[in-house]
């Protein structure tokens, strides 16, 4: 990856597909890696054309270089479950050189190292541990909801989605609660494209990441000298295969856990409000039967697909859906497309809270890299909606949702709402 590509990445307008008709351009010109169509919420017709006409599609020219797009549910399953062919190294982002993804972490490692490191931290988000946290999470959700203004406009993203996920992350890290907004900032910085809101330059981003490293190194040093605790930092500091981790690798894993636990659930929290507002019949179903919440949570996660893709790199020459992929090629699994694949998912574009088999979606990925925090995410969303339904007749969207400038993080930066109390 080169300086040129990064500069092109910061000057992306020439690559934009916004406002274009996906059916009025040659197939090979379609470039899903550009953030524009995702922010403008115009991506779905592009995904559909590729699913129908080029399910394994090669994009030769883009700001991030050439790459393959895998569009269909079953093909994505095949790539995701074949780590010997499709490697997660050196990175799972389309862009090779985004510094934060160059930091080593187990999401961008293959077995056996991946397995060793993941095992250390996954028990903190295993269901048995989460059961102990349920009361605390419910209390924190209740506090957030009870502090919201009723009948006047506010931003749901800032006041609920970010607040709740940040508090949860602080809980899992046993992070100083008063400093918890730093976590949000570091997460936003880690996935930001310089010049598009969060940071202006790569230097600014690097400074923020260094600040994150220093902060967590101090926490590590404090915990390593104490008895092992059940928070993530203590687990890393005391875990046999992680306690001698080099600083870059420690930071890589910390940022992975921050981004993994922050951006994703945050955007499913916002996405649920968007989906219910766009589908009033489903909102009525929910009001009439709150036992649908568990199923609805899976449907929200599918419908939103908070991470649009994961990238792999072919280790060997291979064939996928009749296309010859060469060793070294970038292969991008578009979960956002697989989750709309009508061959596997009935009425895939519909948001349907009592959908049969709602759990069978791609948002968590499959195989060894399947989302470690999936049960935590589901639990947070379930508790949130249980508590919302006890308080409010409707979370009404009163302005245009603003979406994030990213083809990776699929989410919202602003969501103006008004709360209507139960009558």
Partner 1 sequence: MVNILFIEHDGTEHSVTVEPGGSVMLAAVTNGVPGIDADCGGSCSCATCHVYVNQEWLKRMDPVNPIEEAMLSMSSDRKENSRLSCQITVTDELDGLVVTTPEFQF
**Residue 99 vs 346, nearer CB to partner 1:** 346
- Does residue 80 belong to the site contacting partner 1 (CB under 8 A)? yes
- Does residue 294 belong to the site contacting partner 1 (CB under 8 A)? no
118's tokens: 């993941």
| HSE of 172, CA atoms in CB hemisphere, 13 A | 28
Question: Residue 318: in which H helix or E strand, if any?
Answer: strand 318-320
- Does residue 176 belong to the site contacting partner 1 (CB under 8 A)? no
Question: In the chain, count of helices (H) and strands (E)?
Answer: 17, 12
Smallest gap, in angstroms, from Cβ of residue 130 to partner 1? 8
Residue selected from 7, 53, 99, 115 as contacting partner 1 according to rule CB under 8 A: 115
In 246-402, alpha helices (H): 247-278, 280-288, 293-304, 335-338, 374-391
Say how far apart CA 120 and CA 64 lie, in whole Å: 34
- Does residue 238 belong to the site contacting partner 1 (CB under 8 A)? no
Of 238, 254, 276, which Cα lies nearest the Cα of 385? 276
Residue selected from 77, 325, 332, 418 as contacting partner 1 according to rule CB under 8 A: 77
Instruction: Write down the residue that tokens 């209390």 correspond to.
Output: 139
- Does residue 118 belong to the site contacting partner 1 (CB under 8 A)? yes
- Does residue 113 belong to the site contacting partner 1 (CB under 8 A)? no
420's tokens: 């209507």
250's tokens: 């420690």
Smallest gap, in angstroms, from Cβ of residue 294 to partner 1? 11
CB 94 within 8 A of CB 407: yes
Length of the chain: 423
Residue selected from 10, 42, 81, 402 as contacting partner 1 according to rule CB under 8 A: 81
CB 43 within 8 A of CB 404: no
**Residue 88 vs 407, nearer CB to partner 1:** 88
**Residue 212 vs 257, nearer CB to partner 1:** 257
Residue selected from 290, 324, 326, 370 as contacting partner 1 according to rule CB under 8 A: 370
Residue selected from 18, 126, 214, 422 as contacting partner 1 according to rule CB under 8 A: 126
Residue selected from 359, 386, 389, 414 as contacting partner 1 according to rule CB under 8 A: 359
- Does residue 149 belong to the site contacting partner 1 (CB under 8 A)? no
Q: Which residues bind partner 1 (CB under 8 A)?
A: 77, 80-81, 111, 115, 118-119, 122-123, 126-128, 131, 357, 359-360, 364, 366-368, 370, 375
């Amino acid at each position: 990856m080169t300086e040129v590509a990064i500069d092109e990445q910061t000057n992306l307008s020439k690559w934009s597909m916004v406002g274009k008709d996906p059916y009025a351009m040659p197939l090979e010109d379609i470039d899903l890696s550009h953030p524009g169509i995702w922010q403008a919420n115009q991506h779905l017709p592009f995904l559909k054309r590729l699913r129908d006409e080029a399910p394994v599609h090669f994009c030769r020219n883009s700001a991030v270089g050439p790459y393959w797009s895998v569009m269909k549910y079953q093909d994505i399953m095949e790539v995701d479950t074949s780590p010997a062919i499709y490697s997660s190294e050196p990175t799972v982002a389309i862009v090779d050189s985004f510094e934060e993804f160059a930091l080593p972490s187990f999401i961008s490692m293959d077995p056996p190292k991946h397995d060793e490191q993941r095992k250390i931290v996954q028990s903190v988000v295993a269901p048995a541990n989460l059961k102990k946290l349920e009361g605390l999470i419910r209390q924190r959700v209740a506090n957030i909801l009870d502090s919201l203004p009723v009948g006047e406009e506010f931003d749901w993203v800032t006041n609920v989605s970010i607040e709740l996920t940040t508090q949860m992350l602080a809980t899992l890290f046993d992070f100083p609660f008063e400093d918890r907004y730093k976590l949000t900032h570091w997460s936003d910085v880690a996935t930001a494209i310089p010049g598009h809101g969060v940071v202006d330059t790569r230097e600014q981003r690097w400074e923020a990441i260094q600040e994150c490293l220093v902060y967590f190194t101090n926490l590590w040093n404090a915990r390593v000298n104490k008895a092992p605790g059940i928070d993530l930092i203590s687990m890393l500091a005391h875990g046999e295969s992680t306690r001698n981790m080099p600083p870059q690798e420690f930071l890589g894993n910390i940022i992975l856990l921050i981004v993994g636990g922050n951006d994703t659930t945050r955007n499913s929290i916002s996405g649920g409000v968007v989906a219910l507002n766009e589908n009033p019949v489903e909102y009525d179903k929910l009001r009439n039967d709150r036992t649908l919440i568990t199923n609805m949570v899976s449907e929200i996660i599918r419908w939103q697909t908070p991470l649009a893709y994961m990238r792999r790199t072919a280790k060997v020459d291979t064939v996928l859906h009749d296309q010859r992929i060469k060793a070294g090629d970038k292969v991008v699994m578009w979960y956002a497309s697989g989750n709309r694949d009508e061959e596997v998912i009935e009425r895939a574009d519909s948001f349907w809270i009592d959908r049969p088999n709602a759990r069978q979606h791609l948002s968590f990925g499959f195989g060894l890299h399947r989302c470690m925090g999936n049960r935590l995410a589901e639990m947070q969303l379930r508790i949130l909606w249980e508590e919302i339904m006890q308080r409010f007749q409707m979370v009404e969207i009163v302005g245009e949702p603003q979406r994030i400038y990213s083809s990776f993080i699929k989410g919202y930066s602003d969501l103006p709402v008004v709360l209507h109390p139960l009558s």
